[in-house]
Amino acid sequence: MCGIIGYIGKRKVVPVLIDGLKRMEYRGYDSAGLAYIRDGEIVAVKSMGKIARLEQQLQDVDAESHIGVAHTRWATHGEPNEKNAHPHLDCTGRIAVVHNGIVENYRALRKYLQKQGHRFTTETDTEVIAHLIEEYYKKDIPFIDALTSALLQIEGTYGLAILNADEPNKLYAARHGSPVIIGKGEKENFVASDAAAIIRYTNRVIYLNEGEVAEVTDDGFEIFTLRKDRVKPEVQKLTMTLQELEKGGYPHFMLKEIFEQPATVRNSFRGRLNLEMGTARLNGLKSHLDVIEKLKRIVITACGTSWHAALIGEYLIEELARIPVEVEYASEFRYRSPVLDDGTAVFVISQSGETADTLAALREAHNQGVSVFGIVNVVGSTIARETDAGVYIHAGPEIGVASTKAFTSQITVLALTALMLGRRRGIVSTERGYELASHLAKIPEKIKWILDSQTANIKKIAEKYHKKNNALFLGRGINFPVALEGALKLKEISYIHAEGYPAAEMKHGPIALIDENMPVFFIAIDDLMYKKVVSNIEEVRSRKGKVIAIATLGNEEIRRYADDVVYIPETDYLLSPLLTVIPMQLFAYYTAVLRGCSIDQPRNLAKSVTVE
Ligand code: F6R
The tens digit of pLDDT for each residue in 22-81 reads 988 777 678 899 999 999 999 999 998 888 899 888 887 777 899 999 998 777 666 777
Measured in Å, residue 580 CA sits from the centre of ligand 1 at 19
What CA–CA distance (Å, rounded) separates 414 from 309?
8
Helix, coil or strand: residue 300: strand
Helix, coil or strand: residue 474: strand
Residues 352 and 487 in one domain: no
Residue 608 covered by a domain: no
CA angle 415–420–422, rounded 5-degree value:
90
Query: Amino acid identity of 595?
Result: R
Residue 438 covered by a domain: no
Residues 54 and 121 in one domain: yes
Cα 323 versus chain centre, distance? 28
Q: Which atom of ligand 1 is nearest to the CA of 355?
A: 16
Say if CB 236 and CB 203 are below 8 A apart. no
Best residue among 194, 300, 305 to mutate for probing ligand 1, ranked by most atoms within 8 Å of CB: 305
Residue 132's pLDDT is 98
Helix, coil or strand: residue 355: coil
Measured in Å, residue 106 CA sits from the centre of ligand 1 at 28
Residue located nearest, by CA, to atom 7 of ligand 1:
402
Strands 297-302 and 325-329: parallel
What CA–CA distance (Å, rounded) separates 528 from 573?
9
Q: Which atom of ligand 1 is nearest to the CA of 608?
A: 15
Residues 395 and 530 in one domain: no
Alpha helices by DSSP H, listed for 31-174, are 51-57, 106-115, 127-136, 143-152
Best residue among 194, 333, 355 to mutate for probing ligand 1, ranked by most atoms within 8 Å of CB: 355
In 3D space, the residue among 168, 157, 181, 202 whose CA is nearest the CA of residue 66 turns out to be 168
Backbone dihedral region for residue 350 (phi beyond 0: left; psi -120 to 50: alpha; all else: beta): beta
Say if CB 171 and CB 141 are below 8 A apart. no
CA angle 253–259–263, rounded 5-degree value:
115
What CA–CA distance (Å, rounded) separates 318 from 297?
10
Which residue, 428, 463, 478, sits at the end of a domain? 428
Best residue among 307, 609, 612 to mutate for probing ligand 1, ranked by most atoms within 8 Å of CB: 609
Residue 12 covered by a domain: yes
Which residues pair with residue 183 across a beta bridge?
Answer: 190, 205
Residues 178 and 251 in one domain: no
Quickly count: other Cβ atoms within 10 Å of residue 460's Cβ: 12
**Residues in CB range of 491: below 8 A, 6 or more apart:** 497, 498
Say if CB 36 and CB 16 are below 8 A apart. no
Residue 608's pLDDT is 65
In 3D space, the residue among 191, 160, 207, 200 whose CA is nearest the CA of residue 8 turns out to be 191
Residues 419 and 518 in one domain: no
Residue located nearest, by CA, to atom 11 of ligand 1:
304
Largest CA distance in the chain: 83
The H or E element spanning position 214 is strand 212-217
Which residue, 221, 238, 255, sits at the end of a domain? 238
Residues noted as catalytic:
2, 607
Q: Which atom of ligand 1 is nearest to the CA of 307?
A: 10
In 3D space, the residue among 167, 169, 171, 136 whose CA is nearest the CA of residue 151 turns out to be 136
Residue 48's pLDDT is 87
CATH number at residue 393: 3.40.50.10490
Residue 441 covered by a domain: no
Q: At 3, phi and psi to the nearest 5?
A: -115, 140
Residues 227 and 254 in one domain: no
Measured in Å, residue 582 CA sits from the centre of ligand 1 at 17
Residue 109's pLDDT is 96
Which residue, 214, 238, 262, sits at the end of a domain? 238
The H or E element spanning position 220 is strand 220-225
Residue located nearest, by CA, to atom 5 of ligand 1:
304
Residue 128 covered by a domain: yes
Burial 137-148 (b: 16+ CB within 10 A, else e): beeeeebbebbb
Burial 205-214 (b: 16+ CB within 10 A, else e): bbbbbebbbb
What CA–CA distance (Å, rounded) separates 426 from 417?
14
Strands (E), 330-439: 344-350, 372-376, 389-392
Burial 266-294 (b: 16+ CB within 10 A, else e): bbbbeebbbeeebbbebebbeeeeeebbe
Residues 260 and 336 in one domain: yes
Residue located nearest, by CA, to atom 9 of ligand 1:
304
Residue range of the domain that includes 252? 247-428
Residue pLDDT, tens place only, 260-284: 999 999 999 999 999 999 999 999 9
What CA–CA distance (Å, rounded) separates 513 from 494?
20
H helix and E strand count, the chain: 17, 27
Residues 226 and 270 in one domain: no
Quickly count: other Cβ atoms within 10 Å of residue 50's Cβ: 18
Residues 213 and 324 in one domain: no
Residue 190 covered by a domain: yes
Residue located nearest, by CA, to atom 16 of ligand 1:
350
Residues 224 and 258 in one domain: no
What CA–CA distance (Å, rounded) separates 524 from 476?
9
Say if CB 308 and CB 488 are below 8 A apart. yes
CATH number at residue 217: 3.60.20.10
Residues in the chain: 612
Peptide bond into 87 cis (omega under 30): yes
Residues 15 and 147 in one domain: yes
Say if CB 260 and CB 230 are below 8 A apart. no
Query: Amino acid identity of 413?
Result: V
Residue 313 covered by a domain: yes
Quickly count: other Cβ atoms within 10 Å of residue 236's Cβ: 14
What CA–CA distance (Å, rounded) separates 598 from 577?
27
Quickly count: other Cβ atoms within 10 Å of residue 48's Cβ: 18
Cα 352 to Cα 110, 266, 358, 393, 417: the distances in Å are 32, 20, 10, 11, 20
Residue 579's pLDDT is 98
In 3D space, the residue among 387, 414, 294 whose CA is nearest the CA of residue 342 turns out to be 294
Residue 78's pLDDT is 65
Residues 227 and 276 in one domain: no
SS3 per-residue string spanning 152-205: HCCCECEEEEEEECCCCCCEEEEEEECCCEEEECCCEEEEECCHHHCCCCCCEE
**Residues in CB range of 172: below 8 A, 6 or more apart:** 143, 144, 147, 160, 161, 162, 163, 164, 213, 214, 215, 216
Q: Which atom of ligand 1 is nearest to the CA of 303?
A: 6
Cα 260 to Cα 122, 271, 459, 612: the distances in Å are 43, 19, 18, 31
Residue 607's pLDDT is 64
Domains identified in the chain, total number: 3
Residue 440 covered by a domain: no
Ligand 1 environment, Cβ below 6 A:
303-306, 350-352, 355, 358, 402-403, 488, 492, 608-609
Question: Which portions of the chain are predicted below pLDDT 70?
Answer: 1, 28, 76-78, 605-612
Question: pTM for the complete prediction?
Answer: 0.84
Residue 277's pLDDT is 95
